[in-house]
Structure 1
Amino acid sequence: MLDKIASFTQKLSPGLRQVLSNIGWLVCDKFLELGLSLVVGVWVTRYLGPSQFGLLTYATTFVGMFRFASLQALQNIVVRDMARTPTSKNETLGTTFILQLAGGLITLLAAVGTIYWLQPSETLTHWLVGIIAAATLFNAFNTIDFWFQSQVQSKYTVVAKRFAYVFMVVIRIGLIQLQAPLIAFAWARLAEMVLGSIGLVIAYQSQGNYIQAWRASWKRAKELLKEGWLLIAAGIGVYIYADIDQLMLGSMLPDKSELGFYAATTKISRLLDLFPMVLASSILPKLTALKEKSQEDYLDKIQVYFDLSTLIWLAGAIPVSLLSHYIVQIIYGSDFAASGTLLSVYVWSQFNSCFGVARSTILTIERKLKFNLILTIIGAIVNLILNYILIPSYGAMGATVATIITYLIVIILINFFIEELRFIGTLIIRSFNLYTAISRLRKNLL
């Protein structure tokens, strides 16, 4: 069996073998995280119950409202630029690190100040928001991950981050056994970010790289922000049309249990996000290089990218929707039974991550990031209106329906109303012909 696999891989081009190897590492990483999450993360959710889990989710979502300031949206630009010109890595990495560190500090101050102003008497909520927001300071070390992504060498970051994650899994199990309070689990999140950052530094320097060689440049910072501000602004819109439903559920309904049910649903569904994200991080550098060589081959590979995205979406949505009640019962238990019906509907919204990530990757390569801002502003407005209308009457199911309608409009339909995006809409529709899509995949893989 191993001989057949080895023989097959030798038929592939070196570039494709490198991409598949990188994807393999990322998939193994995500499956490890998935497996541990299903055991320990679910254990934590069961332990906290719908109400406390809802409160923790509310604090996390609240901090998310300010995370655009941490400048994680610069990722694709930084990866693209270092894939094109690796010799400029020290200036790009140093500048990106300083920008993200400053952004994390702004996130911390803004989140803590705002929650104290809105809910001056909710001391526990203040602490939860402060601790979770402090973790964004360590997002700056993800700059190292950007370098490894640009070189299609994600195995190094996989090892570094998973060590921290596994260690904190053990700590969380201990917290449950000790009957620890809710705030202890927020501290565990912060500790995981700290350990992960240390691991990334060790991985980077073990490969003969030196953080001491990084240098920040005001000129480079202006270049990144000039192009990246569209992604940063789009990130605000993405938050509004992707996560504002949880914030509105927690704010508009006094009982946090409804948010707990909804958060449990999204947590299961979004586990499927790992496939399009892994695919995008491995494909971006290769598509960038391919565009410089052959426009025709580049367009063919984009179609294959969307074909694969469609298959990933359906492969996840169909079984999860049909087995939703059993999945929720097995994972969360009877206390979260209400999440079963929500999951059967919500999981179909995963076309957002499959097609949305693919479109964002293409727009980054094409240098058409202005459309991310336009689309997310439209999505944000639609989602706010729909949630405001549906949540008071239908609670979590109203938020679910609002999410699906918003994604349908912003991810698929709107492409046909903007001339420069029409080709993306066409690629998505073509990928729905499963027979042809599978045929294209077989042809290109060989």
Structure 2
Amino acid sequence: MTPAPTDRLWVRYLPSFLRKRFEDRHVFQEAVENSGWLFADKILRMGVGLLVGVWVARYLGPALFGQISYAGSLIGMVGAVAGLGLDSIVIRELVHRPDKCGEILGTTFILKFFAGIMSYFFVVGLVFVLRPDDTIAHAIVAILGWSLTVNALDVIDFWFQSKVLSKYVVIARNFGFIVSAIGRVILILAKTSVVSFAVMNLVELSLGAIALLYVYSLKNGSVRKWRVRLSIATNLLRTGWPVLLAGIISMVGLRIDQVILGQLADSKEVGIYAAAVRVAEVWFFIPSAVIASVFPSIIRAKEVDEAEFYNRLQKLYNVLAFVGYAVAVPVTFLAGIIIHLLYGKAYATAAPMLVILIWSDLFINLAMARGTFLLAMNWTWILFWVNVASAVVNIALNFFLIPKYGGVGAAAASCISYWISAHAICYVFKPLRRNGSMITHSLLLPKFW
């Protein structure tokens, strides 16, 4: 007989009025604790990472910083292919079929590893086509591109997410992060080239992957238990390829602005825009942490109680809308000060870009939550077409606005396309109209509960 779950230790130390809300709500406690670890991870990265990242941006200057940002955007877009759209699907399978854990993880790793190798050679060829005379971009992409294969070990992260045990992933990855942060400071003091910073980015991912392997071995045994099964590979690819296409389109929509800006403007404008993007994206850890913690419980609720499923989904929309407003409103008024304090006069024109981009975060939050709904319903084709519509609008607006307004035009294109993807498109697809109303409600009455 399975023993009844007990309250988490930290619940006992809460004030009485809070303790009553948490007691005997074990799924909620699990999600809160998991979110706490993810928040701690991202806050550390936001503090140390932003500090060191800003120092790197100041040291390199807008032009060289634009070079490394351009390369990162190219790799980010191709990385969607290397991921094969399997992330959420694998987590869902691990929740549903824990007895097949070794086979699911082993098969997923092999699929992602070979997809990463093919993606690496593709992105190296792509940068030669787009920038045939830019040897610095060639070198940076050739180095950073290996991250596409290292990321195959993310399958271990999926296992921890399925168990709502993200603290082990946080500990492992922060090992690589801290070492690389120290390494970047040393590179700045030694006045090294921009290529050396690309090497350090790859070192961070590699050390994080090694540490992840170690903590996995402590919790679940050796990777020797992993097995490759053709039937599982076929099932994952059959289920995942609509999500893969959606992921490719989504990542194109997310990173294409810097690529187009790099082609139509110059590396300096890319660097200034990338500075604004870096500040705007600092807050992404909040929706990511919340969704990672509640996704398994939303899936379970769908299987048992439809009303509770939609109730949890509405709460997720409410929380993420509240978070979006809580970040966007103050940053709107403080953008100029933030950019000046962080990056200095060389990046001053990033302030208006940040004002626009920070509002796109609100819609990104809601789009991520709506993506959770689509995956829970297994409506992957709708997810694909939603992302197609958003990407087409984004690309069209980028080509129209960038020649006239530069980075500000790229920011406006992103914000409009994210609103369409998260909200407006819900009223186009009939199955999403209920979600459209739920999102409207969250935009008008956001709540942090």
TM bracket (short chain): over 0.9
**Paired position in structure 2 for 1:239:** 251
Which AA in structure 1 matches 2:392? I
Contact 2:84 2:240 in 1 (8 A): no
**Paired position in structure 1 for 2:440:** 429
d(CA) in 1 for partners of 2:88, 2:125: 30
Runs of 4+ in 1 over 6 A off after TM superposition: none
Matches within 5 A, 1:26-65: 26-65=38-77
d(CA) in 1 for partners of 2:129, 2:277: 29
Is 1:205 matched up with 2:214? Answer: no
Deviations 1:379-428 (A, max 9, x none): 12111111111111111111111111112222111101211011110110
Contact 2:102 2:225 in 1 (8 A): yes
Contact 2:84 2:115 in 1 (8 A): no
Deviations 1:62-105 (A, max 9, x none): 22232122126311001111111211110100011001101110
Where does the alignment leave 5 or more consecutive residues of structure 2 unmatched? Answer: 1-11
Moved more, 366-375 or 236-245: 236-245
Matches within 5 A, 1:378-389: 378-389=389-400
d(CA) in 2 for partners of 1:391, 1:10: 50
d(CA) in 2 for partners of 1:297, 1:93: 30
**Paired position in structure 2 for 1:177:** 189
Matches within 5 A, 1:97-176: 97-176=109-188
Contact 2:264 2:403 in 1 (8 A): yes
- For residue 228 of structure 1, the aligned residue among 231, 240, 253 is 240
CA spacing shift, 1:385–1:13, aligned 2, 3 Å = same
Contact 2:74 2:255 in 1 (8 A): no
- For residue 305 of structure 2, the aligned residue among 294, 302, 307 is 294
Contact 1:90 1:213 in 2 (8 A): yes
Q: Secondary structure at the match of 1:432?
A: helix
Cα RMSD over matched residues? 1.5
d(CA) in 2 for partners of 1:90, 1:45: 42
**Paired position in structure 2 for 1:399:** 410
**Paired position in structure 1 for 2:282:** 271
CA spacing shift, 1:230–1:108, aligned 2, 3 Å = same
Deviation (angstroms), 1:346: 1.6
d(CA) in 1 for partners of 2:21, 2:193: 51
- For residue 427 of structure 2, the aligned residue among 416, 420, 425 is 416
Which AA in structure 2 matches 1:400? A
d(CA) in 2 for partners of 1:346, 1:71: 26
Deviation (angstroms), 1:9: 6.2
Moved more, 233-242 or 187-196: 233-242
Deviation (angstroms), 1:128: 0.6
d(CA) in 2 for partners of 1:432, 1:379: 20
Is 1:367 matched up with 2:378? Answer: yes
d(CA) in 2 for partners of 1:99, 1:130: 22
d(CA) in 2 for partners of 1:410, 1:169: 35
Moved more, 425-434 or 319-328: 425-434
The percent identity for this pair of structures is 32
d(CA) in 2 for partners of 1:223, 1:350: 34
Which AA in structure 2 matches 1:115? V
Deviation (angstroms), 1:240: 2.4
TM-score, length basis structure 1? 0.95
d(CA) in 2 for partners of 1:14, 1:65: 39
d(CA) in 2 for partners of 1:431, 1:107: 39
- For residue 335 of structure 1, the aligned residue among 337, 342, 346 is 346
Deviation (angstroms), 1:200: 0.5
- For residue 296 of structure 2, the aligned residue among 281, 285, 303 is 285
CA spacing shift, 1:370–1:136, aligned 2, 3 Å = same
Deviation (angstroms), 1:431: 1.3
Which AA in structure 2 matches 1:60? G
d(CA) in 2 for partners of 1:344, 1:408: 15
Contact 1:127 1:183 in 2 (8 A): yes
**Paired position in structure 2 for 1:308:** 319
TM-score, length basis structure 2? 0.95
Contact 2:216 2:222 in 1 (8 A): yes
d(CA) in 1 for partners of 2:370, 2:24: 26
d(CA) in 2 for partners of 1:145, 1:201: 10
Deviations 1:201-247 (A, max 9, x none): 00000114220000011111111111111111112211222211100
**Paired position in structure 1 for 2:204:** 192
**Paired position in structure 2 for 1:355:** 366
d(CA) in 2 for partners of 1:121, 1:399: 25
Deviation (angstroms), 1:8: 4.4
**Paired position in structure 1 for 2:5:** none
Q: Secondary structure at the match of 2:15?
A: helix
Deviation (angstroms), 1:59: 1.0
Contact 1:58 1:246 in 2 (8 A): yes
- For residue 67 of structure 1, the aligned residue among 79, 90, 101 is 79
d(CA) in 2 for partners of 1:7, 1:411: 35
Which AA in structure 1 matches 2:148? T
- For residue 264 of structure 2, the aligned residue among 244, 248, 252 is 252
